[in-house]
Amino acid sequence: MTKSSEKRKQIWNPQNRGCFLILVFVLAVCIYAVCCYPAYAALKTRTIYQLYDELENMKLSDLDDDDIDTLNEFQKEKFEVMVTDEDFQKIYTSRTAVSRDYIDRYIKNRQEEYTENAKVMQRNLELRHVLILKGKIIDDGHTFYVYIKKDVQSGIDIIKGTTIYFLVIIMVAIFLYYVLSKKGEWEKEKQSKQSDYQLLESQREFVANISHELKTPLAVVSSQVEMLEIAGDKIDRTYYYSSIHEELDKMSRMVGELLDFSMLDNQMSAMEMSRVNVSEMVEYLLLRYDAVFRKNEIKIEQNVEKKCLVYGNRMYLERAANNYLMNAFQHTEQGKCIRVTLKKVKKRIRLEVYNDGELIKEDQIEHIWDSFYTTSQKKTPVTSENNVRNVGLGLFVVRKIVTKHKGTCGVSNQENGVLFWIQIPELTE
């Protein structure tokens, strides 16, 4: 990922995006408050000029019904319109009643203000804002006076009211955003504390488990060394030496497993991924342990579909499959059966390892994936004589590996045994 893309990703995270949207909304309201009134006044001014153009194109001395209808179309704009002749007699008006004083006040006494090149004037009084046009039209040698006025105060009031409304909404939105952001921070802090607590508990449990696992062989070695010191030649020293060596070997394997797991956990974060033929991998593992299974008189049934491909890391996938096989081996008695199945199921590769044996108790099924979790069902651990190691972290490691490969894993009790499975997305050629 380039620096520019990382920067864009940081800019457009949910929190920054929310701030950006609020900023845009505030800017839009400011533009609305500043520009809306001039735009509104300009629109009404243009409409006044349109009305004046219509009057210039009419025969004012003889207005017909079509002319009246055209002029009435402008009444939706709530213009105040007055047209008089050169004797200041009413020709047309938008008012329901017009007194003589009104005509004298606005036209007769101010006739010098009326020009043929009429302009709309804007008057901003303390309590009112109006647009006024005073025009003089010459038609067939007769003079006509046109007075048009538009009170834009109501429009300004609406704009001001709308602006205030939007500003209140913005303040409320900012307040809610602040509260929700703080709540989100509190939730994150709470989750962080819970995660830290869970991590601490997990670490404590891990230390307790490994301490428990090491305590037994240490106790055995200590007691046997003590017996050698006390009894001297009265005991079978060869047996005790062999027993001590066996217990030390167990501890060595356990410590090695811990170190291996620590390295595995760190390495999986940067593992290399490539095309893996799971079919070949499973066949290799079965061939590798064929002698071990035969020696312990365990039957192996296999049904491996060809060309089962995934995108992953063969070393880790082999580790997961190996742990399943060794787990099945440890729980299968002589004369019993292990069945390995590999197949394609709905664009996923599914590996199943079934073994005859005792079922797992329902309250233990979820816990078997925990580190160093053991059940009473395990038989005597496999020793180095078989070239197979007892994995105290086996199923725990399997779940981590499968999760890294965007897959799932699980276990279910069958009629006469236990079935472990893994599903990983198929890689199509």
Q: What is the pLDDT of residue 383?
A: 37
Q: What is the pLDDT of residue 169?
A: 73
Q: What is the pLDDT of residue 209?
A: 64
Q: What is the mean pLDDT of residues 86-91?
A: 90
User: What's the per-residue H, E or C state across 148-160?
Assistant: EEEECHHHHHHHH
pLDDT in tens, 340-379: 999 999 899 999 999 998 898 888 787 787 655 554 444 4
The strand pairing partners of 354, in sequence order, are: 339, 419
**Which helix or strand (DSSP H or E) is residue 419 part of?**
strand 417-425
Q: Is 244's pLDDT higher than 60? A: yes
pLDDT bin (cut points 50, 70, 90) of residue 396 is confident
Domain ranges of the chain: 10-151, 271-425
Greater model confidence, 175 or 144: 144
Alpha-carbon gap, residue 3 to 18, rounded angstroms: 23
Closest CA to 390 of 230, 213, 264: 213
pLDDT in tens, 114-159: 998 999 988 876 667 889 999 999 988 899 999 998 887 665 566 6
pLDDT bin (cut points 50, 70, 90) of residue 265 is low
Say which CATH topology domain 271-425 has. Answer: Heat Shock Protein 90 (3.30.565)
57: helix, strand or coil = coil
pTM of the model: 0.45
Residue 393 DSSP symbol: T
Q: What is the pLDDT of residue 258?
A: 65
Q: Which residues contact 158 (CB under 8 A, 6 or more apart)?
A: none
- For domain 10-151, is the CATH number 3.30.450? yes
Q: What is the pLDDT of residue 385?
A: 35
CA geometry: angle 243, 248, 249, nearest 5 deg: 95
Would strands 408-413 and 417-425 be described as parallel, antiparallel, or unpaired? Answer: antiparallel
> What percentage of residues in the chain have a pLDDT greater than 90?
23
Q: What is the mean pLDDT of residues 284-306?
A: 90
Give DSSP secondary structure letters for 190-258. HHHHHHHHHHHHHHHHHHHHHHHHHHHHHHHHHHHHHHHHHHGGGS-HHHHHHHHHHHHHHHHHHHHHH
Q: Is 399's pLDDT higher than 80? A: yes
Q: Which of 187-201, 378-392, 411-425 has the lowest mean pLDDT?
A: 378-392
The strand pairing partners of 423, in sequence order, are: 350, 408
pLDDT bin (cut points 50, 70, 90) of residue 231 is confident
> CA torsion angle for 165, 169, 172, 178 (degrees, to 10)?
-150
Q: How many C-beta atoms lie closer than 10 Å to residue 310's C-beta? A: 23
Q: What is the mean pLDDT of residues 54-62?
A: 89
Q: What is the pLDDT of residue 420?
A: 94
Residue count of the chain, please give it: 429
Alpha-carbon gap, residue 358 to 377, rounded angstroms: 7
**Highest-confidence segment of 37-46, 180-189, 228-237:** 37-46
Q: What is the pLDDT of residue 336?
A: 92
Alpha-carbon gap, residue 135 to 118, rounded angstroms: 5
pLDDT in tens, 156-173: 566 665 667 677 777 777
